[in-house]
Structure formats: structure tokens, C-alpha cells
Amino acid sequence: MSFEFSRHVNWEERYQTAKRLFMQTQLLVITGASGVGKTHVAEMLHRASDRAGEPLLFHPAAAMTQGLFESQVFGHQKGAFSGAAKDYGGLAGATGRGTLVIEGLEDWPLSVQAKMLRFIQERLYRAVGANHERSFNGRLIFTSRIPLLNLLHENAIREDIYFRLSGSEIELPTLSQRPQDFIPAAEQMRRDLEKEMGISGTHPDQNDFEQLQQMPLPGNYHDLRNRLLQSLLTDMPVTALDIAGESETNPLKLDDLPDTGTLKGDLARVEAVLLERALKLYPHNRKELAKHLGISLRSLLYKLKEHELN
């Protein structure tokens, strides 16, 4: 996506604040719902910085065990664990003076957060199996679908991590909170998709953009891209497409709910239906599906197995 995030006055102020924080403290936490553009903004900030020519590396924290998380970020020495056939410098080493973006702060294992705190504060880290520390010379950006204060209340992050990061948090608005941006963003996204796919047609058109602006898009730009792509591929109006998630036009009634005899059973049935619906949006990408649902990849895989939806 190459559309500008700075059209809305409120967002312009927010973006400039994020930029100042990033340049001055070398640290930023970007929070917001799934699909609001956290990764895109991280890339924008790096490209606009005085280190744009340095590496920009991304690391998804979802579904990472403690050992794998540490090994990927901090590196490991040969023989540190089974399968460590040679030394690996890790993303922290490969970043150099560039930017390391660790996505999914809400999925950080609690067991590694103390080491992450030292990494953030002292810019020091130790590779798995090493007996000496190394210096980190780059900049850090963390992303989270859940605001830091909520993570603290849910005991998902340590209190010391919260207090260290809370002053560096910028929350991105959802599509519905940025009405002035919607149609320009949709128009640019269509142009990007036409270039990416090498095709063009009569749809989506201006009327489609206006129709989309009135629709619920819980996945924000993910949902918008999916609907634009289907309209482009089929050359059909967005209102003619059969896309999961449009049952809002038929309000849920009590008679529609399952009645297994227990609350646990009813919730399980509802969860299975919601998972089936979401699978139609992301049939081949479990990572994006997990983001869309607002859960970790590990939780998603467990639920799919539990409901026999694999």
C-alpha cells in the first residue's frame, strides 16, 4: 500500500508525534486494531528517517516459543541447542544501525520479557548459548493489536515493560475513525492492485468506494483490500459480491442461537460458525486469519483443530 496516512488533521498530528518519538528515543510502540496499517506506518517512519538506507527487518512474535523467539531476535551459538549447527547472529545483529520491527507484542512470552526489557533499556543482548553481551545500535519499533494498558490489566506484559514502553505508544485509528481518508485510500489501493495483478476493469468504481464506506469492515484495510481485489478480479460491483461477514443486514435473533443445553456448548457452536466465516476471508493464510480475529496464531491453530476445521 502506498496511500498517505496524513490526510486527516488528527492523524497528521499523531504521525508527527510518532516521528519525533522515533527519531529522538529510537523506540516506538504502534498499537491498533487488525488492519489499521501498523506495519505500513513502521516502514514509512523508517523510510522517512536519516537511516533510510540501513536495514529494515520485521519479526512476527506470534506462535514463537521462548527458545525460538530468543534465537531469532538475539541469535545463537553453534551447539546452543539441538539443531544449532552453526552460529547465527540474529535479527538484532543483522539490523545494524537500521530498524528492527517486532510485530505482535501481545504474543511475547512472559519468560523472555525480562531479557527484552534489558534489550530495550540498555541496548544490550546475549545470544543463546553465549557468555558475553553485544550492543544493539539500531532503532526499535514494536506493534500490538491491543493497547499496552489493556495488556497490563490482562497480565500479558510485565509491569516494568509497561512503564518503560507506555510513553512511546502511538495508537492508530480505524477506518471508521478516518472518514476523510477512506475514498482516497480505496482509490490508491485499487491502483496498487491493478499494478500488482496486471489487470483493470470497470469495477471497483467511485460508486463501489462509496458503498464500501458504508459497510462494516472489521478488518480495516485488510477487509478493504479483500473486497477491492474480488471486485477487480470479477469486474463486479462490491454489492454483488458474496463475501463472508455481511450478515449484519440480518440482525441476529435469539431463535438463531444454538441451544445445546449448556453455555459452554452454545459458545463452542457459535465459535465454530465464526471461525468458518472468517476462513472464507482468509482460506490460505493462517497468519492473516489470526490477525483478523485478534488472536495469536497458536490459539487459532488450536481452535481450528478443536472444531475440526483444518
> Rounded to whole angstroms, how far apart are CA atoms 188 and 176?
18
Q: What's the confidence (pLDDT) of residue 254?
A: 60
Q: Is the CATH code 3.30.70 the one for domain 178-243? A: no
CA distances to 2, 13, 285 from 17, rounded to whole Å, are 21, 6, 34
> Rounded to whole angstroms, how far apart are CA atoms 125 and 92?
8
CATH architecture of 248-310: Orthogonal Bundle (1.10)
Torsion of CA 286, 288, 292, 297, to 10 degrees: 50
Q: Which amino acid is at 201?
A: G
Contact by Cβ (8 Å): 294, 174? no
Provide the residue ranges of all domains of the chain, joining segments of one domain with +: 9-173, 178-243, 248-310
Q: What's CA 302's distance to the chain center, in Å? A: 20
Contact by Cβ (8 Å): 109, 64? yes
pLDDT at 8 over 70: no
Mean per-residue pLDDT over the chain, rounded: 85
Pairing of strands 169-171, 27-31: parallel
CA distances to 54, 204, 224, 239 from 213, rounded to whole Å, are 38, 13, 9, 12
Contact by Cβ (8 Å): 75, 127? yes
pLDDT at 63 over 80: no
pLDDT in tens, 199-250: 888 999 999 999 999 988 888 998 999 999 989 988 888 888 765 444 444 4
- Whole-prediction pTM value? 0.72
Overall residue count recorded for the chain in this entry: 310
Contact by Cβ (8 Å): 131, 89? no
In sequence order, what E strands does 78-174 have? 99-103, 124-125, 134-135, 139-144, 169-171
Q: What's the confidence (pLDDT) of residue 98?
A: 97
Q: What's the confidence (pLDDT) of residue 212?
A: 93
Confirm whether 9-173 and 248-310 share one CATH topology.
no
CA distances to 13, 21, 44, 84, 241 from 170, rounded to whole Å, are 11, 9, 14, 38, 35
Whether the ω angle into residue 184 lies within 30 degrees of 0, i.e. cis, is no
User: Mean pLDDT throughout 112-132?
Assistant: 90
SS3 of residue 66 by DSSP = helix
- Helix spans in 26-112 (H): 38-47, 66-74, 90-95
CATH architecture of 9-173: 3-Layer(aba) Sandwich (3.40)
pLDDT in tens, 270-299: 888 888 888 887 777 888 888 878 788 888
Cell of 271: 465459535
User: Mean pLDDT throughout 5-34?
Assistant: 81
Q: What's the confidence (pLDDT) of residue 152?
A: 93
